[in-house]
């Protein structure tokens, strides 16, 4: 099929509305084995899902994002490149870089895809980036093999070419479109919703399961008795009130007590189950049962290495692919810096800096920049301890001394 003419509305921006539309993953979302409806909105009402999405979104959004240029000595910040300011400060006049990245990573975690429209001038220079709602976007391929995107805005379809879209796909079947973690794990999330609803109803019923009011005779109006009982003893605010029964009536509770149904254990298991989906250490969402002062630091380092690093690589490569021209890709690259998350305590940092300065791979100004301090004059000197010798020099010196000893002995 031929790609239709692009609508004029996309020459400026898409102006998407945050509303539900037919999702490409509709067959994944829906009822679960627990009977609860799971989609990206109901999932976010679960505290564990909300906490996991918030942790990843805010963490990635807060990392320094720089565009670099390769040099003979390594790299330097490409402050004059057009996309440096867009990515580091303001992708568009309405958003900061933090809000833009937080929004897109939220989309990526809930829908499995993140989209942003790329606004370019007549020369192809990137002028702005605007987030697009993933549930309104579909990806297609033309007969010529070119990918293009159809965005549905208020029932009207608009076509975007591949160079007009920054697309960050998650794990997917075909490598082009990711699938939603929420949809793939809907049964686990549905069970968490069901247990939370059960707990709310349990306390709404006065922290007592349902029961039977027994009357020795025949009641003429059982509905009135039921309403009267619920109005006085229903709700958590009426728990533990003393019941007054007339006419020989008695109350017999029925149902399974929460401790027998392992209600609390089930809720706790679902917490870890959802954290496992997003690969979040339990201590970061408030579960400190198996955490201690000695292992939390290690878990935090593993969070950076095994959880954040794949997401950051996905982001960096997608931005380089979409925002840099073919000629720029060999000289420029985009990097999210995680050094701040890997910093140890003050004592450990100072000991590490001292080792670096003494061995010549750090200068005082390097250390001051790492600590967010102003540089000082003559602080770019790299020095080593004077009593250090190269191994080859040590060998030559030893050989010379040995020869001298032999000559002395012969005499």
For residue 263, the model assigns a pLDDT of 61
Strands 211-214 and 332-336: unpaired
Residue 407 and residue 77: Cα distance in Å, rounded? 61
Both tokens of 179, joined, read 């699938």
The pLDDT tens digits of the residues spanning 347-389 come to 888 888 888 888 888 999 998 988 878 889 888 888 887 776 6
Residue 322 and residue 168: Cα distance in Å, rounded? 10
Name the residue among 189, 185, 165, 164 with its Cα closest to residue 177. Answer: 165
What is the dihedral sign for C-alpha 71, 74, 80, 82? positive
214 vs 225, 229, 238, 239, CA distance in Å?
11, 13, 21, 20
Strands 37-38 and 165-169: unpaired
Mean of pLDDT over the chain: 78
Q: Average pLDDT for residues 36-58, to the nearest whole number?
A: 88
The phi and psi torsions of 332 (rounded to 5 degrees) equal -125, 155
Contact 113, 149 (CB under 8 A): no
Residue 131 burial (10 A CB sphere; 0-12, 13-18, 19+): buried
Residues near 329 by beta carbon (within 8 Å), at least 6 away in sequence: 320
* Strand ranges inside 259-389, DSSP E: 332-336
321 vs 106, 167, 263, 343, CA distance in Å?
21, 10, 48, 30
Is pLDDT larger for residue 259 or for residue 133? 133
For residue 262, the model assigns a pLDDT of 58
Helix (H, G, I), strand (E, B) or coil at 381: coil
Q: Over pLDDT 70: what percentage of the chain? A: 69
Q: What is the pTM of this model?
A: 0.72
Buried b (16+ CB within 10 A) or exposed e, 310-347: ebbebbeebbbebbbeeebeeebbbbbebeeeeeeeee
Residue 258 and residue 205: Cα distance in Å, rounded? 13
Question: In what side-by-side order are the strands of the sheet with 137-141?
Answer: 137-141, 147-153, 156-161
Name the residue among 226, 212, 223, 215 with its Cα closest to residue 248. Answer: 215
Residue 135 and residue 152: Cα distance in Å, rounded? 9
Cβ neighbours of 81 (radius 10 Å): 20
Query: pLDDT-derived band of residue 151, with 50, 70 and 90 as boundaries?
Result: very high
Query: Which residue ranges make up each domain of the chain?
Result: 1-205+256-342, 210-254, 345-411
User: Which region among 233-237, 279-283, 337-341 has the lowest average model confidence (pLDDT)?
Assistant: 233-237
Is pLDDT larger for residue 399 or for residue 340? 340
Name the residue among 93, 95, 70, 96 with its Cα closest to residue 81. Answer: 70
Beta bridge partner(s), residue 172:
178
The pLDDT tens digits of the residues spanning 66-95 come to 999 999 888 899 999 999 999 999 999 999
* Strand ranges inside 317-388, DSSP E: 332-336
273 vs 93, 109, 145, 186, CA distance in Å?
40, 16, 40, 11
User: Which region among 26-30, 36-40, 46-50, 179-183 has the lowest average model confidence (pLDDT)?
Assistant: 26-30
Q: Average pLDDT for residues 22-46, to the nearest whole number?
A: 67
Q: Over pLDDT 90: what percentage of the chain? A: 30
For residue 22, the model assigns a pLDDT of 40
Instruction: Determine the Cα angle at 109 with ends 108 and 112, to 5°.
Output: 55
Both tokens of 320, joined, read 């380089």
Beta bridge partner(s), residue 336:
65
Task: Please tell me the chain's helix, strand, coil percentages from 3-state DSSP, rounded to the nearest 5.
Answer: 45, 20, 35
């Amino acid at each position: 099929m031929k790609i239709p003419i692009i609508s004029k509305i996309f020459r400026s921006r898409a102006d998407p509305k945050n509303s539900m539309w037919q999702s490409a993953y509709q067959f994944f979302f829906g009822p679960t084995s627990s009977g609860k409806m799971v989609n990206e909105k109901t999932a976010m009402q679960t505290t564990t899902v909300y906490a996991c999405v918030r942790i990843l979104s805010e963490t990635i959004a807060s990392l320094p994002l720089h565009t670099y240029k390769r040099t003979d000595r390594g790299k330097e910040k490409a402050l004059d490149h057009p996309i440096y300011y867009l990515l580091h400060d303001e992708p568009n006049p309405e958003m900061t870089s933090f809000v833009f990245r937080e929004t897109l990573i939220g989309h990526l975690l809930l829908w499995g895809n993140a989209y942003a429209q790329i606004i370019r001038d007549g020369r192809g220079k990137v002028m702005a980036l605007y987030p697009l709602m993933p549930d309104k976007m579909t990806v297609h391929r033309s007969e010529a093999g070119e990918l293009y995107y159809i965005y549905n805005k208020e029932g009207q379809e608009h076509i975007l070419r591949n160079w007009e879209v920054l697309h960050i796909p998650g794990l997917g079947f075909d490598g082009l479109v990711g699938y939603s973690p929420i949809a793939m794990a809907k049964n686990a999330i549905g069970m968490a919703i069901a247990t939370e609803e059960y707990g709310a109803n349990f306390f709404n019923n006065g922290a007592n399961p349902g029961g039977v009011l027994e009357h020795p005779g025949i009641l003429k109006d059982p509905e009135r008795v039921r309403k009267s009982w619920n109005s006085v003893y229903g709700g958590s605010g009426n728990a533990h009130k003393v019941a007054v029964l007339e006419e020989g009536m008695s109350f017999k509770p029925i149902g399974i007590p929460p401790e027998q149904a392992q209600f609390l254990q089930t809720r706790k298991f679902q917490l870890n189950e959802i954290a496992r989906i997003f690969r979040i250490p339990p201590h970061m969402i408030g579960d400190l049962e198996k955490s201690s002062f000695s292992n939390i630091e290690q878990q935090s380092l593993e969070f950076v290495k095994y959880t954040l690093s794949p997401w950051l690589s996905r982001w960096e490569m997608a931005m380089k692919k979409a925002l840099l021209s073919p000629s720029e890709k060999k000289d420029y690259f985009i990097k999210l810096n995680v050094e701040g998350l890997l910093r140890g305590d003050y004592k450990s940092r100072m000991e590490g800096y001292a080792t670096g300065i003494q061995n010549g791979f750090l200068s005082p100004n390097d250390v001051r920049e790492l600590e967010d301090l102003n540089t000082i004059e003559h602080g770019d000197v790299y020095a080593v301890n004077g009593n250090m010798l190269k191994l080859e020099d040590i060998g030559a010196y030893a050989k010379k001394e040995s020869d001298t000893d032999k000559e002395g002995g012969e005499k």
